[in-house]
Structure 1
C-alpha cells in the first residue's frame, strides 16, 4: 500500500478480487513423476495480498499505528511463506527461477526474446504488467510458454500472483522460469516471489546514477544487467561508476553489459544462466 506509487491495501487479480476472509483454500499439484501433492493456505480475515515494502512498514508515517503494522506484518509473513512454497515446487522440478526487475522500457522482454531464441534452454515466463497481454504475446511468438498477469493498479507482483501464474504454465521439462516483474525500481524489490535469483536491468539511457538513487533493488540483485549498450556513444553513461556502485552495495553481484538487439554481450548472459542452472 505504497501511497506514492499507486498501491492500495486491496488489489484486483485478472480473475477478480483476491481478498480473503478467514478461509482455507487448497491447491493440488501433479509433478513430473506422476505424484500428486496438495496443500492448504490459511488467510487472515480481511487481509489482501497487497503489501508495502518491508523496509517502509515502520518508516512510513501513513502506516505507523500499531494495528496497521500488525496487519502488514501478517501480510508480509504470508507472502514469504507462499514464496518459499513456490521455490519448493520449482526445486522439485529442478527448475531455476529468475525474477527480472527494472524500470519500464529497460529491455526485459527484449532480453527474454534473445534468451529464448538462443535455443539453449526450455523456458516459461510469467509476465507482470498493469494492463495488456503485449509482453506475453511477444514471448509466445519468440517460442516460449507465457502467462500474463494484469495487476491493475498494483505496481509489483507478489508470491500469490506468481503461484497462480505457475498453474498456467506446463513446467514439466523446463530449464528456466522467468518472472518479468512490473516495471518499477521501488516496490518489486521488497517482495519475495519465490525466485532463486533476482536480476535487475539498467539501460544506458536511464543513466549510471540510478544505482545510488534506488539502492534497495540493486542491493538485492544477484545480477545487474546493463542493457542497450549500443547507445553508449550517445549517452553520458559511466560503466566504471556502475560497477563500482553495484559492488559497493552488493560485492557478490555479477554485472553483465549487453545489447539484446545486436547480440553483443548476450553470450555472457547465456553462460551466466547455464552456470547458475548447473551449480545452484
Structure 2
C-alpha cells in the first residue's frame, strides 16, 4: 500500500502568507498590483503593451513584470512602451508564486510606481491557485477560444475580479457568441465585470489601466463567490497497487514544479490524476518514482533568477 501526504494546502498556506506580506508592503509604497492570467495566444501581451503606452502618455508611473518558461521576447516587446519592464524566466515552472515575485521586485521596482502589471505564465490551470499579492486579478480570453472557456476553466474565471475579452475585431469572423460567453462567465462568477477589447484598433485600450487606478484609490473591487467559499482548488494524486512496499508519497501538485525527493525507486502501476478543471485520467507509470520519508526534509526545486531588466 502507499500512504499519501498532500502538501498542496501547506504550499498554498505559505504562499498566502507571503502574498499578504507582499501586498501590505506594496500598498504602503502606493503600488497597485494587477495579475494578468490567460491561455497562450490570447493577446495578453498585445493589450498590455498598449496599456503601458497609454499610461506613459498620461504620465502614470507604471511597470511590468512578464513571466515565460523561455525566451525574453515579451519583455523586449513590452519595453517598446517606454515603461520599466523585467523578464522572469521560470525554466519550466508553470506559474508565478508570491515569493518569486517578491524576489524579482527587490532592488528593481522604481520608487513611485503606481501600477505594477504582472503578466503571468500563459496557463489557466496552475496560476489560478496562487495569490501574488495582487489588488486586481484579471483573466483574459480571446474570441477565438470559444464561448465555453469559462466553463472549461471554472477556477480561473471563478476567481477573476475582472474578465477581459480580446480580439473582438475578429469576433464575427470566428462566429463568437458574446451573449453566451457572458452567460457562462456569470455562471461561474456572478457579478464580475466583462470588458471587450480590440487592442490593434485601440478599442477598450485604457480600460484596464482605469480599473487598476480606481482599485488603487480604494474603489470597490469585485469579490468572487468562489473566493469567499473556497479560494483554492486542490490537485490530488492516487496510485494503484505499487506492489510490496509501504512508504509515503509526498507531492505538491500536478505540474512542472514538483519537489525533489530523497529516495527514488522503480515501480510499475496505474497513476491517476484528478484536477478540478481537467477531470480524472489514468495512465500506466513505469520507472523512477520519488518518495520522501517522514523524518527527512523535502528539498524544493530552486527557481532561477530572471533575465536582465529591459527598457526601450
Q: Structure 1: 5+ residue runs without aligned partners?
A: 1-63
Partner of 1:87: 23
Q: Does 1:247 align with 2:186?
A: yes
Equivalent residue, structure 1, for 2:46: 110
Equivalent residue runs for 1:222-233 within 5 Å: 222-233=161-172
Q: Give the whole-Å Cα distance in 2 for the aligned partners of 1:240 and 1:173.
A: 41
How much has 1:101 moved relative to structure 2? 0.2
* CA distance in 2: counterparts of 1:103 and 1:79, whole angstroms: 23
In structure 2, runs of 5+ residues without a counterpart are: 220-312
- Count of aligned pairs: 215
Alignment of 1:115-130 (within 5 A): 115-118=51-54, 119-120=57-58, 121-130=60-69
Quick check: 1:211–1:245 contact (8 Å CA) kept in 2? Answer: yes
Matched, 1:170 2:109: yes
Q: Is the CA contact (8 Å cut-off) linking 1:99 and 1:181 kept in structure 2? A: yes
Quick one: which of 14, 31, 34 aligns to 1:98?
34
The aligned residue for residue 264 of structure 1 is 203
Q: Which has the higher contact order (CA 8 A, sep 6+)?
A: 2
1:275 aligns with 2:210: no
Name the SS of the counterpart of 2:42 in structure 1. Answer: coil
Structure 1 residue 193: Cα displacement: 1.2
SS in 1 for 2:67: strand
Task: Note if 1:74 corresponds to 2:74.
Answer: no
> Could you tell me how far apart the structure 1 residues matched to 2:209 and 2:86 are?
23
Asked if structure 2 preserves the Cα contact closer than 8 Å seen for 1:201 and 1:224, the reply is yes
Q: Does 1:197 align with 2:136?
A: yes
Q: What secondary structure sits across from 2:199 in the alignment?
A: coil
Alpha-carbon distance, 1:220 to partner: 0.3
2:81 to 126, 142, 159: 142
| Pairing partner for 1:185 from 124, 143, 146 | 124
3-state SS of the aligned residue for 1:82?
helix
CA RMSD in angstroms comes to: 1.6
Q: Tell me the alpha carbon deviations over residues 72-113 of structure 1, each in whole angstroms, 9 at most, x when there is no partner.
A: 332222111111111011111111111000000111111111
- 2:307 counterpart residue number: none
Structure with higher Rg: it is 2
Superposed displacement of residue 209, structure 1: 1.3
Q: Which has the higher helix share?
A: 1
Contact 1:86 1:159 in 2 (8 A): yes
1:235 aligned partner:
174
Equivalent residue, structure 2, for 1:213: 152
